[in-house]
Structure 1
Amino acid sequence: MNSSEPDTPFAAVSAQTTKYGRIYQAYLDKSTPFTAYRWIGTGVLLLAFALRIFWAQGWYIVAYSLGIYLLNLFLAFISPKFDPSLEQDEGMEDGTAGGLPTKEEEEFRPFVRRLPEFKFWYNTTKAIAIGFACAWFEVFNLPVFWPVLVVYWLILFCLTMRRQIQHMIKYRYVPFTVGKAKYSAK
């Protein structure tokens, strides 16, 4: 092959994938402001996955793996981007404590998530879609005693959430806001 000739088959494939990638990204960008609709769609997909698992009476490993992954995503979603416990340890070395305020006279810094809402939604939806697709292939239907998986997942959920709630209480942060603060005229 002459060095002046481009790899036409590969260039054509690359151009097409780039084109479809841009179209896909444009749709993602358009969906960003519609938080409630995005989560409703994800909930419908999760319901379809749960119904598939229930009616097929199998693919419990796929469901368990999805549950562990979603728990991991949720923990990243409710965790602060800058861990106050690490910053407090570093702050003690140089005399300044960064991150969330632990005393009243410290400066207030807003809560910044480790995993932003859009990425949380996107990764959740993608994982559920992959799990739903896997639930149609017999190779992923491994024989397991599903009640053990459910109990183990519940224990894991309780322990990790207990630790996370203790962390929230210790460093006084709340990862959720219930709306904009409203001030009344006096």
Structure 2
Amino acid sequence: MEGVSGDAGDSSSIAKWRSEFWKTFQHYLDRSTPHSLGRWLGTAGLASIYSLRVYYLQGFYIVTYGLGIYLLNLLIGFLSPKVDPELEVMDGPSLPTRGSDEFKPFMRRLPEFKFWYSITKAFCVAFVMTFFSMFDVPVFWPILLFYWIVLFVLTMKRQIVHMIKYKYVPFSIGKQKYTGKRYSSGSSSSSRD
């Protein structure tokens, strides 16, 4: 009887520890949200460490190929609008398709924070996989690299054609500033009269 109650106490303490760990993890994740440059620099550092590990081990090319395909899938989600005008007709906000349409802000299918978080998790999982020899499948890596480059070019070409067709740009640099009306030199003298 004591063993049964002891096991229940152990499982409840593990559940409590796991709950506290996830609360703390979520707290730090929430605090990192406004610091996008720092987050991306950390992910770039993690990607560099992973790349160096794969380079020095001269292996795990299948893991890296799978990581590359997953990152390409995330990039497509990041560059795509939340509602694709080709696939869905919606009553709410959508991308303008003509010059006379009202401007509507670009809403991503995959927001920047989730994009960053998914990439970071993917690099962490791939890094952990490099410690297990069962994932080191011998392959001729130049073929995988060539195939990934062809896949990337074809996918980006299709995405860019879609952007041009529906006239949207998935990037905005900073807040737009109003500078007021600009008058030409000929109109400034006539406006004073």
> Do they fold alike, i.e. is TM over 0.5?
yes
Q: Residue 46 of structure 1 aligns with which residue?
A: 47
Question: 5 Å matches for 1:39-78?
Answer: 39-78=40-79
Distance verdict in 2 for CA 1:75–1:104, change over 3 Å: same
Q: CA deviation at 1:14?
A: 1.6
- Alpha-carbon distance between aligned partners in 2 of 1:56 and 1:13, rounded to the nearest angstrom: 36
Structure 1 residue corresponding to 2:136, chosen from 120, 125, 141: 141
Structure 2 residue corresponding to 1:105, chosen from 100, 116, 119: 100
Q: Residue 160 of structure 1 aligns with which residue?
A: 155
- Alpha-carbon distance between aligned partners in 2 of 1:106 and 1:166, rounded to the nearest angstrom: 20
The alignment-based identity, stated in percent, is 51
Contact 1:64 1:153 in 2 (8 A): yes
TM-score scaled by length of structure 2 = 0.86
Q: Which amino acid aligns with 2:15?
A: S
**How many equivalent residue pairs?**
177
Distance verdict in 2 for CA 1:159–1:28, change over 3 Å: same
Q: Which amino acid aligns with 1:159?
A: L
Structure 2: which 5+ residue stretches go unaligned? Answer: 182-193
Task: Say whether residues 1:117 and 2:112 are aligned partners.
Answer: yes
Distance verdict in 2 for CA 1:35–1:98, change over 3 Å: closer
- Structure with bigger gyration radius: 2
Q: Residue 187 of structure 2 aligns with which residue?
A: none
The CA RMSD measured in Å over matched residues stands at: 1.9
- Alpha-carbon distance between aligned partners in 2 of 1:107 and 1:52, rounded to the nearest angstrom: 50
Structure 1: which 5+ residue stretches go unaligned? Answer: none
Distance verdict in 2 for CA 1:121–1:183, change over 3 Å: same
Q: CA deviation at 1:9?
A: 3.0
